[in-house]
């Protein structure tokens, strides 16, 4: 992946074979007790991502299911600036994971989970501690295939790019545009993945109605840049 610098000062820039026992093998002898069954296989990644899939689906419907925000399509690489102000109080999402909401964004932790919703009336952000392991690119692939794609009737994603953030933690992001189930407005946004030294990974998905994401893009990127992941 091509490395780029990603900070609040940047301009804006997507699883055998059967063995048959020979005659007279132990398993065919009278009185032989078969071994216990093997343990259940590890749940697939889809199952581990299911809570995030449900939470994001609800958030999408509540935020955009009832109305269409008008606006002209915007280029994801258009340069924008923030509006300043006082950031919200830091939120500890999980041990070693702290999120700093940008100014003007309302934070709503999801009870009983390691998930957080942020909204400013134009855009939305969904932050979650990843249930799977892997580097930033693998995290993005899993989130795209197991969370975004199942909810979209149409989905177009950009190429994942590595980014540099102040913490020095490995990070990457991709942009996307799509039409999502039960959501009237086409959406555009960016997904970023940050992996801390312990292997803990955080996914941040920020979006708005098509044509409006440019207004919140810097806040989304600033939240990624300020995230603390130990």
Torsion (CA) 65, 68, 73, 74 in degrees, nearest 10:
-70
Q: So where are the chain's domains?
A: 46-229
* pLDDT single digits (tens) 191-229: 999 999 999 999 999 999 999 999 999 999 999 999 999
Pair of tokens at residue 39: 């343990």
Backbone angles phi, psi at 220, to 5 degrees: -60, -50
- Look up tokens 């689906």; give the residue: 57
The terminus-to-terminus CA distance of the chain in angstroms comes to 23
> Buried b vs exposed e over 94-103: b needs ≥16 C-beta within 10 Å?
beebbbbbbe
Least confident of 36-40, 164-168, 220-224: 36-40
Protein fold of 46-229: Protein Transport Mog1p; Chain A (3.40.1000)
- Taking only the tens place, the pLDDT of each residue in 168-200 is 999 999 999 999 988 888 999 999 999 999 999
pLDDT of the residue at 184: 86
Provide the pLDDT for residue 182.
Answer: 82
Asked whether residue 1 carries a pLDDT value surpassing 60, the answer given is no
Q: What local confidence, expressed as pLDDT, does residue 51 receive?
A: 59
Which pLDDT score, from 0 to 100, does residue 46 have? 46
How buried is residue 112: exposed, middle or buried, by Cβ count under 10 Å (0-12/13-18/19+)? exposed
Task: Tell me the pLDDT band of 48, cut-offs 50, 70 and 90.
Answer: low
More confident of the two residues 40 and 49: 49
**Short-list 190, 192, 189, 126, CA closest to 165:** 192
Answer for the pair 52, 193: CB distance below 8 angstroms, yes or no. Answer: no
Tokens of 201: 């990974």
Q: Kindly give, in sequence order, each residue whose CB lies less than 8 Å from that of residue 7, ignoring residues fewer than 6 positions away.
A: 164, 165, 166, 221, 222, 225
**What pLDDT digit, counting tens, does each position of 76-128 carry?**
333 323 344 566 799 999 999 999 999 999 999 888 899 999 999 999 999 99
CA 42, distance to chain mean position in Å, is 22
pLDDT in tens, 49-76: 665 555 555 455 444 443 323 233 333 3
Among 70, 75, 104, smallest CA distance to 87 is for 104
Contact 97, 230 (CB under 8 A): yes
């Amino acid at each position: 992946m091509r490395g780029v610098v990603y900070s609040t000062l940047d301009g804006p820039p997507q699883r055998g074979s059967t063995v048959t026992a020979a005659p007279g093998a132990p398993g065919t002898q009278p009185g032989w007790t078969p071994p216990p069954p093997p343990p259940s296989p590890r749940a697939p990644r889809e199952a581990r991502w299911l809570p995030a899939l449900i939470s994001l689906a609800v958030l999408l419907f509540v935020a955009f299911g009832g109305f269409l925000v008008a606006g002209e399509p915007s280029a994801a690489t258009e340069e924008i600036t923030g509006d300043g102000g006082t950031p919200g109080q830091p939120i500890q999402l999980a041990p070693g994971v702290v999120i700093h909401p940008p100014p003007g964004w309302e934070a709503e932790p999801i009870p009983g989970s390691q998930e957080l919703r942020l909204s400013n009336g134009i855009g939305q952000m969904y932050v979650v501690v990843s249930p799977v392991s892997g580097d930033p690119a693998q995290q993005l692939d899993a989130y795209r295939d197991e969370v975004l794609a199942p909810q979209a009737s149409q989905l177009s994603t950009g190429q994942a790019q590595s980014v540099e953030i102040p913490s020095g933690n490995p990070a990457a992001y991709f942009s996307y545009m799509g039409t999502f189930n039960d959501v009237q407005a086409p959406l555009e946004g960016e997904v970023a993945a940050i992996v801390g030294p312990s292997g803990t990974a955080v996914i941040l998905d920020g979006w708005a109605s098509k044509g409006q994401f440019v207004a919140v893009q810097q806040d989304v990127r600033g939240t990624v840049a300020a995230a603390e992941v130990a």
